[in-house]
Structure 1
Amino acid sequence: MKTSLLVALLSLLLCSPAQAAPSPQPDSLSLKIGQMLMIGFRGMDAKEGSSIAADISQRGIGGVVLFDYDVPSKSPVRNIESAEQVRRLASELQRLSAIPLLVAIDQEGGRVCRLKPSRGFPPTVSAAHLGALDNADSTRQAAGSTAALLKSLGVNMNLAPVVDLNVNPNNPVIGKLDRSFSADPAVIARQARIFVDTFHRHGVIAALKHFPGHGSSTTDTHKDFTDVTATWSRTELAPYRRLIREGYGDPVMTAHVFNARLDSLYPATLSKATVSGLLRDELGFRGVVISDDMQMKAIADRYGLEEAIRLAIDAGVDVLIFGNNVSYDPDIASKATTIIRHLVEKGAISPERIDESYRRIMALKTRTILERP
């Protein structure tokens, strides 16, 4: 870590909006925008000259997300080959960054598992299995095994646990994949609390998903518009409400589901009523809000890139994920950075709104990556 830069960043973080903050680099707006992006990429390493190396060193992106399979090319060659290779990759990525990166992965367990036994990683169990047992020791052991593995690899963020209610067991993206702990919100909250606490003990950041609830859907937001207006209920908020009340402060990931009862125009990720109104104002969440993949078809097929970015940031999303694994665009970080700067310069997004996200992101990184062992 470059100490002088870190001091400047923390000084900026701790300044109130009314105070004059020191600029940590010639263009602090670029730094703040970069921290709002989490990018997926192709490659088992982060070689100089690669698109991800440029995204980190030149555009200052705040996070990366790793996958084991490249969906657009239908290839098993992506970011994960072995434990030693992932460890080396994570180290290379961090060395490129002046600010510690969020190195994220979807290691839920069961069928949604990027670190597979076929690559030499230990087997995992699904959330549905653990929820059916509802045994604290079993859940703690499973979560501990995952967290210890991630920590050893240099992966500091798990995009888990899923706290969607198993309202529809035939849900193609939740229920059928055994990603939900239970249809009972109390079971989900108990299980998720153990996962989060166990992750923390190992220095791994959690992310509850998919707000405000994806468990009742009948379609997959990866593939199409997903409307839960007729199937969603406020019971699906219960795990979030309980965990936030108990002090949960790690990120929450939004869903791309459309719910006319919450917002008659926009899906959750793009909805100010859902993110700022429901999650922040009603439930009292003060942490980082992360979007689900902005390239998923529920968003990308219906909104232009600039419109989607503008709406998501205006809604209150702090980190935009471009996983580059529904479609692949090596220039997506450059495009997103240019778009956000343009939106600020023309007044469509205020500098204060960017500052809000930056402060929340840096507070998360300071509390977790820098303070946790």
Structure 2
Amino acid sequence: MIGRMLLIGFPNEDINENSEIVRQIKSYELGGVILFDRFYSDRSKTKNISSPKQLQRLTSKLKSFSTKPLLISVDQEGGKVARLKPAYGFSQTASAKQISALHVEEAKAIYKAQAQMLKKSGINCDFAPVVDLAVNPKNMVIYGLERSYGSDSKEVVKYAKIFMDSLKNENIFSVLKHFPGHGSSLGDSHKGFVNISNTWSEIELEPYKELIKSNDISMIMTAHVFNSQLDAKYPATLSYKVNTQLLREKLGYRGVLISDDLQMKAVSKHYSLKEIVALAINSGVDILLFGNQLATQDVDELIEVILSQVKSGAISQKRISESNKRIEELHKKRKKL
């Protein structure tokens, strides 16, 4: 049950029954994997993606080694955030900012083509679309990289919905990010603590409110942003006030909540592994993401750390069961790939 709550990065372009990731998938029934094209520390080295054929081979092997539905995920937003790049033989997709200038029919055609490319590659979960509002021109992580559809939440919802529908038509899960809003931030949570207390406003919740009402969300990703307006102590990823009281109770979200990468410096610099997993799970997070890009996390150790805290009562078994139930419901919703 703990294994089902983990989504893990691994360093191979190809795998076989002796690969470490295969052992982990089989031993723990891992919830999923995340694929990257390059290593974060060495951009010249290929990690998991080098060509369409290679990626098809890798994803079909991953599925064959898993007895339970496995999330095979990537960050494929379009524009600068794309793991499937033209340089490796994949099609280019426009950035969110570029898409927002297009007619709805053009946007649909572009996102349909991208979803079909993901489906053909064996990807069944895309960490997109971004529904952060472009409210801060000094924001380099969202605004600067053209990852937002704009500052008007109606426009953001309109284009995000097209993206989500395109993925849904190919039986691919979409993941809205980054809750409760990363668009007003000044810092990068990959590198350290990001405080949005003075820049964030409630308008950043609007896209979530609208899309939750539509009852069409597969998953939401919670962000490593600290906002004293919402929680004076913890960043969103580790905050019960943000993830349970705000997102679930106030906004009425019932689906799966996934963390942003828990190896990002915004949390890993300030909390121990033991604290991170207990706070995240207790806050209402269902899937813990360890991309193994910014650090290397031993999965056996990770499972032991979580298990020991369930045994000690620091994490309730009820929370583990709740998350497993949500994950199961998620897979039931989707037609068999």
TM-score category of the 2 structures, normalised to the smaller one: over 0.9
Structure 2 SS opposite 1:39 = strand
2:55 to 86, 97, 108: 86
1:59, CA displacement in angstroms?
2.0
In structure 2, the residue matched to 1:28 is: none
Counterpart residue number, 1:211? 179
* Corresponding position of 1:324: 292
- Say if 1:72 and 1:328, in contact at 8 Å, map to a contact too: no
Question: Cα deviation per residue 1:214-268 (whole Å; 9 max; x = unaligned)?
Answer: 0000000000100000000000000000000111230000010000000000000
Q: Is 1:117 equivalent to 2:82 in the alignment?
A: no
Say whether residues 1:34 and 2:3 are aligned partners. Answer: yes
The equivalent residue for 2:155 is 187
Report Cα offsets for 1:310-362 as digits up to 9, x if no partner.
Answer: 00000000000000111233x2x212211111111011111111000000001
Give matches, 1:1-373, under 5 Å: 32-133=1-102, 135-329=103-297, 331=298, 333-368=299-334, 371-372=335-336
Tell me the distance in 2 between the aligned counterparts of 1:372 and 1:279: 29
CA distance in 1, matches of 2:38, 2:229: 36
* SS of corresponding position for 1:70: coil
Task: Say whether the 8 Å CA contact 1:254–1:269 is kept in structure 2.
Answer: yes
Tell whether the 8 Å contact from 2:52 to 2:89 is kept in structure 1 after alignment: yes
Q: How far did residue 170 of structure 1 move? A: 2.4
**Deviation of the 1:189 alpha carbon:** 0.6
CA deviation after TM superposition for structure 1 residue 124, in Å: 1.1
2: CA distance between counterparts of 1:237 and 1:94? 36
Q: Distance in 1 between matches of 2:97 and 2:280?
A: 31
Q: Distance in 1 between matches of 2:41 and 2:19?
A: 19
Change in 2 beyond 3 A, CA 1:160/1:243: same
CA distance in 2, matches of 1:316, 1:94: 28
Q: What is the alpha-carbon distance in structure 2 between the residues aligned to residue 34 and residue 252 of structure 1?
A: 19
Q: Which amino acid aligns with 2:41?
A: P
Give the partner amino acid of 1:341. L
Q: CA-to-partner distance for each residue in 1:277-307, whole Å, 9 max, x for gaps?
A: 1110011000000000000000100000010
Q: Letter of the aligned partner of 1:191 in structure 2?
A: Y
User: Quick check: 2:222–2:258 contact (8 Å CA) kept in 1?
Assistant: yes
**CA offset at residue 372 of structure 1?**
4.9
- Give the alignment's TM-score, normalised by structure 1: 0.89
Q: Is the 8 A contact 1:132 1:182 kept in 2?
A: no
Unaligned segments of structure 2, at least 5 residues: none
Query: What letter matches 2:316 in structure 1?
Result: S
Deviations 1:11-41 (A, max 9, x none): xxxxxxxxxxxxxxxxxxxxx1111000001
Q: Which amino acid aligns with 2:172?
A: V
How far apart, in 2, do the equivalents of 1:356 and 1:82 lie? Answer: 38
Contact 2:35 2:49 in 1 (8 A): yes
Please tell me whether the aligned partners of residues 59 and 334 of structure 1 are also in contact (alpha carbons under 8 angstroms).
no
SS for the counterpart of 1:177 is coil
- Check whether the contact 2:263–2:292 (CA below 8 A) recurs between aligned residues: yes
Stretch of structure 1 that moved more, 138-147 or 256-265? 138-147
Question: Percent identity of the aligned residues?
Answer: 46
Q: Counterpart of 1:278 in structure 2: which amino acid?
A: L
Q: Is there any run of 5+ residues in structure 1 with no aligned partner, and where?
A: 1-31
Q: How many residues align?
A: 337
| Aligned counterparts of 1:248 and 1:283: Cα–Cα separation in 2 | 14
Give structure 1 regions of 4+ aligned residues with deviation exceeding 4 angstroms: none
| Cα contact 1:249–1:286 (8 A) shared by 2 | no
SS at match of 2:60: helix
The one-letter amino acid of 2:181's match is: G
Question: Is the Cα–Cα contact under 8 Å of residues 174 and 217 in structure 2 kept in the other structure?
Answer: no
